[in-house]
Chains A and B, each alone.
Chain A
Amino acid sequence: MVTAVTNLGRSGLSDWLVQRVTALVLLAYTLFIVGVVFFGPQLGFAEWKALFTQTWVRIFSMAAILSIAANAWIVLWSLTTDYLTERLMGAKATPLRLLAQAFIAIVLFTYVVWGIQILWGNHG
């Protein structure tokens, strides 16, 4: 058994499952947005705003944002542990990998908080 502490769920199985479930959420959200933009009534600022004042749309959007964050973390964690390794780069790989992972984590955390602000913030 190989150990890892930086992956999302500590287990390969949970990461695998989360990746698939979040992909389904993102598929559903993409279909929803495509449907609204291309097949719904004429969209203006008022209609767009009305759509996003509904709680279920906000929850659905938040689920999509969290799904992006989780999915992206799993994929980018995989990438960093594929290419930024001691086997390929020597001793500098571990600090570089942790730095890259910290950067990715900060970006994803920012997206989530920003998403909350956009969806529930006071826009006047």
Chain B
Amino acid sequence: MLQVSLYRYNPETDNTPYMQEVQLDTGGKDLMVLDVLELLKGSDPSLTFRRSCREGVCGSDGLNINGKNGLACITPVSEAMKGGNKLILRPLPGLPVIRDLIVDMGQFYKQYEKVRPFLINDTPAPAIERLQSPEERAKLDGLYECILCACCSTACPSFWWNPDRFIGPSGLLQAYRFLVDSRDTATEERLADLDDPFSVFRCHGIQNCVNVCPKGLNPTRAIGHIRNMLLKRAS
């Protein structure tokens, strides 16, 4: 039997959130955490969580699993428990809980919006497309793969304390993705928007983001690149 500790909160009936202890017969199989949630929802339909693709592509089911943020669909229970005897599931930390394992991602998306995550190009549009050399395209590797699951930003203490002023690892990874894109001409405006004491510089390089990213990306490195671009621009 698998012991599961679940964060439960229904604002309509509960005054405060609580941890619910449940047991699940997994038949000795090593399931993914999302499978466990689906099985539990089978017996208690009021259990609420987000999910969609169930293969680590959509980024819907970011959770705090035994203390570490990750995607429920691609985290095996055995890996999450690491020899322990209980699976502990909580919502992503630092964001307001709407119900059970669902958080309000508004603040996260607001920071994403701030970096203007789209190509800006003030030159006349070419007849077919804007070309990029293979070398220029290679610079986007390790950046474009972000699925906005928020595992990194909600693992970052700087984002917990200043979610309204610090862009956070996910937003900054996206910011660098457009700063380094050869087809984008708004580099100067983008850098000017980031040059303040909070947006970038609240990153103290503790690398929780790198530790939890389910896609294996490195936001700390991207933030370092942004810092170097700011330094080059100002010195």
B-binding residues in A (CB < 8 A): 1-4, 7, 11-13, 15-17, 78, 81-83, 85, 87-88
Contacts and interface: CB of A to CB of B under 8 A. Distances in A.
Nearest to B204: A78
27 contacts: A1-B192, A1-B193, A1-B194, A1-B199, A2-B198, A2-B199, A4-B198, A11-B195, A11-B196, A11-B197, A12-B195, A12-B196, A12-B197, A13-B227, A13-B231, A15-B197, A15-B201, A16-B201, A16-B227, A17-B231, A81-B162, A82-B161, A85-B161, A85-B162, A87-B161, A87-B162, A87-B164
Interface of B: 158, 161-165, 192-202, 227, 230-231, 234
Contact of B158 (A11, A15, A17, A82): A82
A17 B230 CA distance: 11
Interface majority SS (helix, strand, loop, mixed), chain A: helix
Contacts of A78: 202
B197 A2 contact: yes
B3 to A, nearest CB: 34
A55 to B, nearest CB: 30
Interface majority SS (helix, strand, loop, mixed), chain B: loop
Contact of B200 (A4, A12, A17, A81): A12
Nearest to B164: A87
A81 B198 CA distance: 10
A73 to B, nearest CB: 12
A24 to B, nearest CB: 16
A12 B162 contact: no
The interface centre, meaning the residue of A1, A2, A16, A17 with most chain B CB atoms within 10 A of its CB, is A2
B96 to A, nearest CB: 12
Contacts of A1: 192-196, 199
A88 B197 CA distance: 19
B228 to A, nearest CB: 11
Contacts of A82: 158, 161-162
A3 B196 contact: yes
A82 B196 CA distance: 15
Nearest to A4: B197
The interface centre, meaning the residue of B161, B164, B193 with most chain A CB atoms within 10 A of its CB, is B161
B14 to A, nearest CB: 23
A81 B202 CA distance: 10
A7 B161 CA distance: 17
A81 B231 CA distance: 23
A78 B230 CA distance: 20
The interface centre, meaning the residue of B194, B196, B230 with most chain A CB atoms within 10 A of its CB, is B196
Nearest to B199: A2
A2 B165 contact: yes
Given A3-B196, A4-B197, A87-B161, 16 more contacts: A1-B192, A1-B195, A1-B196, A1-B199, A2-B196, A2-B197, A7-B197, A11-B195, A12-B196, A12-B198, A12-B201, A13-B201, A13-B231, A15-B201, A81-B162, A87-B164
A12 B158 contact: no
B234 A88 contact: no
B153 to A, nearest CB: 16
B151 to A, nearest CB: 21
Given A13-B201, A15-B201, A17-B231, A4 B161 contact: no
